[in-house]
Amino acid sequence: MRRMCGLLAIVVMLFCHSQVQAQEMLQMKGSDTMVNLGQAWAERYMEVKPDAFVAVTGGGSGTGIASLISGTCDIAMTSRKIKGKEITLAQEKNIHPYEITVALDGLAVVDNPKNPVSDLTMDQLARIFTGEISNWTEVGGEDKAIVILSREVNSGTHVYFKEHVLRKNDPDSKAEFAPSALLMPSSQAIADEVSGNTSAIGYYGMGYISDKQKPINVAQDENSEYESPTIENVVNGSYPISRPLFVYTNGEPKGLVKQFIDFCLSQKGQDIVLETDFVPISR
């Protein structure tokens, strides 16, 4: 009897092992801006393809690209384009990054709902985040020192905001965030800090907007209309701080990677983009 139980246990173990082996695995890492979107895609995909398992983790765009280069993920999610030095490093390791645009995003600049400042120009934003403007009175607010919140340097959101807002898309500009800026580990951390700090200003993908923060209306310059970070304004190009969102794979996607990305780009996948407050690439 004991021998039969032992044989049965071995059979069960072998069966379970074969089941694990039969399940296709996919690792997706990277942008914190995109992590909620990636998880939503994964959950919906696994509903229609139960024999697949898609694991999604954040950590920042740089982390996703580094993971792709090291071979520890199948798909890197990024809110910025891959850098030349990252491509060189990848090629040295026989990795060939392949870029796919999967959604659009508007970066929201937010302050506390109790802060009276609701409209800022791109120039004012640049001067605030570089530290040139340091008190809210300088932009029509109360007499309080401005608390600057930024994503950490590994974040694609940080890179995009620096290049597009602080440096005004000028490749020769050396503008940097003020030394006093608090570098936050995630978009949610910025949202939480702004919610409880009436002096704070920060930025994140507009999918993180809630009624605990107030999105600031942004104008290209003093002669332009102030626009809010909405899907409509990102699509029509009127909101000044908008960007594409990418995934990168090692070479043109194949197999499960292709099937999953095809799902993300399908009507169902782009509906999920809309549901998570991002902008579909086709409407």
The number of domains in the chain is 2
The reply to whether 212 and 252 lie within a common domain is no
pLDDT digit string (tens) for the chain, length 283 residues? 444 444 344 443 444 444 444 468 999 999 988 999 999 999 999 999 999 999 999 999 999 999 999 999 999 999 999 999 999 999 999 999 999 999 998 999 999 999 999 999 999 999 999 999 999 999 999 999 999 999 999 888 899 899 999 999 898 999 999 999 999 999 999 999 999 999 999 999 888 899 999 999 999 999 999 999 998 999 888 999 998 999 999 999 999 999 999 999 999 999 999 888 889 986 5
Q: Does the residue 283 lie in any domain? A: no
Instruction: Provide the residue range defining the domain that includes 43.
Output: 2-104+244-275
What pLDDT sits at residue 6? Answer: 43
CA distance 157 to 168: 15
The reply to whether 114 and 206 lie within a common domain is yes
The reply to whether 156 and 219 lie within a common domain is yes
Nearest to 202 by CA among 254, 131, 150, 250: 150
The reply to whether 122 and 143 lie within a common domain is yes
What pLDDT sits at residue 271? Answer: 95
The reply to whether 11 and 95 lie within a common domain is yes
The reply to whether 130 and 224 lie within a common domain is yes
Q: Does the residue 205 lie in any domain? A: yes
Q: Does the residue 282 lie in any domain? A: no
Q: Does the residue 60 lie in any domain? A: yes
Residue 223 has phi, psi (to 5 degrees) of: -95, 5
Q: Collapsing DSSP states into helix, strand and coil, what is residue 257? A: helix
For residue 246, CA distances in Å to 69, 199, 263 come to 16, 33, 15
CA distance 195 to 186: 14
What pLDDT sits at residue 237? Answer: 87
| Beta-ladder partners of 204 | 108
- CATH code where residue 188 lies: 3.40.190.10
